[in-house]
Structure 1
């Protein structure tokens, strides 16, 4: 009997211990979940924190209704001083002549916006505004306050606070939601950076020393790689030419090139001595006779590359600098034939620029004559084009004469559009497009420069 009672007692103690263990495990799990849950603060929490900290310092604080502003739309917000008895200052006296008014706009940290008060003390005079305009400056920029990490604040004290009655908000991002906090205080309240330190950008780290440039490797291997790369891109012929640079690493090639497209790769030998100048070739190609710039490469790479097309055979000068002393320099000329059906009756310059527009976009050579050809000048020109449903086309615009600062071609087809801008030192632009069910397309050419004359060609493509 005693043994039975002992057995029952041991069972009770075991059950109680198991229950306590289960309860302890549950509490531990709940504590772990509580610790693992991240502390998340949204926009309203940030605004509440600012309002609370300013209220604790004795300021009268009010929060305005939230705002939602789209890009390109300016919203004018009326800012009234918090009334007497507002949060943090119950029973406080009304506005005083010397008190300060602060308004802060808070948005997501990725939103960029500007604030512009209706007026402010020290507004520039008409004469100062004229000086700003003559210098190419916008006096309105001095009025605008740019946001940092989605936050911006304006403080005005004394009579200047009347300028905060209305504040214009302009969103530079796509769109943004805003919380607005207004505070009236006897002096400047606590700075926004101290209340929301997570919105403060840290100091910019020094750039440091990246070290010496990477070694380009043996010259023969680089020349072979350039030739393989050109042949893989469809070059019909690769011809290397070499010379020795001057003692300061400069020189000039003068080569006679055939009509068609060319890729000139310039590579310099790297000396075997330990102490030497870094190899960083810069070069440009100019047409002899006219002096027209065909291409330029001033990148930080050890080798340089120039791409252009010639409408007729000619002599091209290629000056260079940046070799590591009197070393061997190789110019590798990769050649592509002139695409068929590129017209020559507009002149050699236009023919080369049309060919380069095709080459730059890696478009195949046209297999038929152009269905549309047009000539234009400075400004925007719209050219309607009749197209066949289910067929693709390539439109190219090229400079014939004059000087070009900007050249753009765009095509609108139904609800679709495509465009291309001529790159730097380029005089041709092209774009491919396909018709689905449309029977017409609108081709627009925009040219800016010194009396530019351009030609447009539209080819059907298989």
Structure 2
């Protein structure tokens, strides 16, 4: 009897424990279902949907373009069309009106940095909206680019200026990025992005800290030898150093006769052995003797200076410098590369040197055949169609022939792919490589701004 009673008690305990475990499992399952039903975080598509929904509720016609992906260094040209009537927004909305506004927003992950360049009217600055603002100074070469903030950038155009948003070039500055695009047509500016996506608003910029004293550059002989090894590793057949003594205030000027071809001038100053001394921070520039034309300039915060340029014919180059730590030894190391073959000389020595520099700057191999296209242009934007062979690569270079250049850009479009290059500050040559997949024609566009500039374009087939 006692044994039977104990068995009944044990079975009761096991049943109660099993019921408790079942209730706990049911509770955990319910909690898991609740957590699965709610999104853990908003993704890129959710942000785009939120923007489209909020703009639609305000009565705008809204459309979302197909998402796309871009690798670093590639440019994607996106065609932007106004949303047709009835896409979203107020029911029965009419078609596009002459006075209405068009807004396009590009959304990427918050860590992605990119730029937008609308196909604006000539000389018209881009309008900025919402999170869009410039991260760099008023560089004339960059006056039409719009930089992203926290992975978002938007452009607003109203009235006739909407035509400038027909095409927008997107360039990724980060490693890569996926994009969602929302387009809205409205009677006025829609709700600002910063109120729709407050999590993408960046805070105040922290003040710049004190980096401390400049790093010691090390012994002069070791730096000269290192510069020579670096140049020879990059294919320079000849490196010729010369030296002089700087003035008591650390200034001086070299005057050197250089051969035709491409040159890299490394300027390095000796560091005094005394404990108390001025920091070594050389700044220098190279100018063509006689004309004073600027060939290169380096004003970076570094102990040594590097100047790269190409000469279309032999000439004398003057190299003034400053920033040495007193009357010390200064060495100019001239690394020389020969003039690439098939760079035309019939446009003059200046154009020849600038075309060679476009190849050297982009580390392009020397052309092995004559250019298939040569063209001459002037101030403004010029479109040059080029016939290409499917499956072959090319290099296009634009170079100043005469005049003064403020900004020079070359871009190539093949289908929905594009590539471009800017000559940079005081640059007189720009080049870009491109390959045809199935296309039989490419559109090469050269944009030149300055004082009566005349430029030449050459397109070479590359192996």
TM-score range relative to shorter protein: 0.5 to 0.7
**Aligned-partner SS, 1:128:** coil
Counterpart of 1:226? 227
Which sits farther off after the overlay, 76-85 or 108-117?
76-85
- Structure 1's 360 and 171: CA in aligned 2 closer, same or farther, altered over 3 A? closer
Structure 2 Cα separation of the partners of residues 461 and 409 of structure 1: 18
Structure 2 Cα separation of the partners of residues 174 and 165 of structure 1: 27
Which sits farther off after the overlay, 46-55 or 421-430?
46-55
- Structure 1's 178 and 411: CA in aligned 2 closer, same or farther, altered over 3 A? closer
Structure 2 Cα separation of the partners of residues 233 and 357 of structure 1: 16
Structure 2 Cα separation of the partners of residues 154 and 4 of structure 1: 83
Per-residue deviation, 1:409: 1.5
Structure 2 Cα separation of the partners of residues 383 and 78 of structure 1: 21
Does 1:419 find its partner at 2:420? yes
For the 8 Å contact 2:132–2:154, the answer to whether it is kept is no
- Structure 1's 330 and 152: CA in aligned 2 closer, same or farther, altered over 3 A? closer
Per-residue deviation, 1:441: 2.1
Per-residue deviation, 1:390: 2.1
Structure 1 Cα separation of the partners of residues 168 and 367 of structure 2: 59
Structure 1 Cα separation of the partners of residues 384 and 57 of structure 2: 68
For the 8 Å contact 1:262–1:335, the answer to whether it is kept is yes
Deviations 1:224-271 (A, max 9, x none): 111111111111111111111111111111111100000011111111
Counterpart of 2:236? 235
**Aligned-partner SS, 1:108:** coil
For the 8 Å contact 1:395–1:457, the answer to whether it is kept is yes
Per-residue deviation, 1:388: 2.2
Per-residue deviation, 1:338: 0.2
Structure 1 Cα separation of the partners of residues 386 and 99 of structure 2: 70
**Aligned-partner SS, 1:134:** coil
Tell me the C-alpha RMSD between the 2 structures.
10.9
How many aligned residue pairs are there? Answer: 462
- Structure 1's 378 and 101: CA in aligned 2 closer, same or farther, altered over 3 A? closer
Structure 1 Cα separation of the partners of residues 444 and 92 of structure 2: 70
Deviations 1:59-90 (A, max 9, x none): 99999999999999999999999999999999
Per-residue deviation, 1:20: 11
- Structure 1's 17 and 177: CA in aligned 2 closer, same or farther, altered over 3 A? closer
- Structure 1's 72 and 215: CA in aligned 2 closer, same or farther, altered over 3 A? closer
Counterpart of 2:294? 293
Which sits farther off after the overlay, 179-188 or 317-326?
179-188
Structure 1 Cα separation of the partners of residues 138 and 382 of structure 2: 32
For the 8 Å contact 1:121–1:160, the answer to whether it is kept is no
Gaps of 5+ in 1: none
Which sits farther off after the overlay, 369-378 or 336-345?
369-378
Per-residue deviation, 1:453: 0.9
Per-residue deviation, 1:111: 14
Per-residue deviation, 1:413: 2.3
Per-residue deviation, 1:143: 23
Counterpart of 1:89? 90
Structure 2 Cα separation of the partners of residues 365 and 47 of structure 1: 46
- Structure 1's 250 and 414: CA in aligned 2 closer, same or farther, altered over 3 A? same
Per-residue deviation, 1:321: 0.6
Structure 2 Cα separation of the partners of residues 17 and 61 of structure 1: 57
Q: TM-score, normalised by structure 1?
A: 0.62
Per-residue deviation, 1:203: 6.8
- Structure 1's 289 and 15: CA in aligned 2 closer, same or farther, altered over 3 A? same
Structure 2 Cα separation of the partners of residues 349 and 307 of structure 1: 15
Per-residue deviation, 1:207: 3.5
For the 8 Å contact 1:146–1:152, the answer to whether it is kept is yes
Per-residue deviation, 1:396: 1.0
Which sits farther off after the overlay, 416-425 or 281-290?
416-425
Which sits farther off after the overlay, 131-140 or 437-446?
131-140
Deviations 1:201-235 (A, max 9, x none): 87765534321111111111111111111111111
- Structure 1's 210 and 25: CA in aligned 2 closer, same or farther, altered over 3 A? farther
**Aligned-partner SS, 1:66:** strand
Structure 1 Cα separation of the partners of residues 362 and 443 of structure 2: 20
- Structure 1's 245 and 32: CA in aligned 2 closer, same or farther, altered over 3 A? farther
- Structure 1's 208 and 32: CA in aligned 2 closer, same or farther, altered over 3 A? farther
- Structure 1's 18 and 134: CA in aligned 2 closer, same or farther, altered over 3 A? closer
Which sits farther off after the overlay, 39-48 or 123-132?
123-132
**Aligned-partner SS, 1:226:** helix
Counterpart of 1:446? 447
Gaps of 5+ in 2: none
